[in-house]
Amino acid sequence: MKIKRLQNFRPGFTLIELLVSMAITVVLLGVLVYMTGISMDTYRDSRNEIRASRQAKEAIETIAKDLESLVSRRDGNTYEWLYSGVDSKSGITDSTGPSSKDGQIANRAQVIFFTGATDRYNGEIGVDGVDKGGDVSAVSYRLTFRDQIGDTSDERHAVFSLYRHLVNPDETFGVDGAASLLAVEDLRAAYQNGFEARDLVAANFLVENVYEFTLTFLVEYTTTGTTPVTKIERVSMMQNGNGGYQEFRLKGNKIVADGPKSAEIENGRIVGAEVSITVLTDRGLTLAKKSGISREDLVKKHSYHYTKAITTPRP
């Protein structure tokens, strides 16, 4: 008996062909997943950098604007016009950082000074009944770790926050017998006694995730001796010394500083400043609250650093 072949018969894939095609598919899927992972990492890094850049710009530009309008008088008076130092307070309402030692703020400067702020009187300059004619405000900057909303001991909701407290001219001058900040010999003490209780409030919040805040003043001074030379000293507010200064006070007759060249710069004057901040990513903030990551790795892998030089008015 003869067997006829089926017409239009086509043989199927062999097992080897199926294995080869599966292997190629797996490789292609692996490459696709890898490329997708790289794209997501790039997107996350770009997003973190853009967000950090926006926060840094908001903070630095605001500080720069205030310092560029710095008000001081070098006419021999003993009043204090600027105070800067390393803020060392602690407590959940004003903390240096989470309980993890390596998560503590690396460096945080505090500064109080007088400025011709353009947003005094809440920006309503010239409005009858609001603007009372003052043009000099006191301003304070502080960096802390706290729960902005609940102000509780729960570290899960606390963040690194930079605050700007602008004291309107009326309060700065001490109208109607109120405490004044102008014409005092200890600006920090006067601010602590009458105004500091109001600086860490939601209305004064500037930006978050600022892990480090460093101020450096450029002081021009002339050496003594047979051949006087004009020099510039960089006065940086540094935590625990580290070769920097712990306090810097600008008075109407001299500079009082606690640092390496305090005596030499006493008769100098401020000619500029540098503002430096380190901004953590959201991932960095989470890691800062946990143990197991060193401060060096935290700053190196999960933060961005920004610096701006400022020219200040010469009294």
Higher pLDDT, 139 or 157: 139
Indicate the SS3 state at residue 146: strand
**pLDDT-wise least confident of 43-47, 206-210, 300-304:** 43-47
**pLDDT-wise least confident of 134-138, 147-151, 267-271:** 147-151
Please give the average per-residue pLDDT across 122-149, as a whole number.
86
Cα 185 from Cα 188, distance rounded (Å): 9
Question: Over pLDDT 90: what percentage of the chain?
Answer: 39
Radius of gyration of the chain (CA): 29
Cα 82 from Cα 140, distance rounded (Å): 10
301: Cβ–Cβ under 8 A, 6 or more apart, which residues?
284
- What's the Cα-to-Cα distance from 83 to each of 58, 110, 139, 186, 258, rounded to whole Å? 23, 8, 11, 9, 12
Cα 140 from Cα 85, distance rounded (Å): 12
Token pair belonging to 69: 């309008």
Q: Looking at residue 148, what is its pLDDT?
A: 75
Q: Which amino acid is at 7?
A: Q
Contact criterion met (CB below 8 Å) for 107 and 214: yes
Band of residue 217 on the pLDDT scale cut at 50, 70, 90: very high
Contact criterion met (CB below 8 Å) for 310 and 255: no
Please give the average per-residue pLDDT across 116-131, as a whole number.
85
Please give the average per-residue pLDDT across 85-91, as a whole number.
70
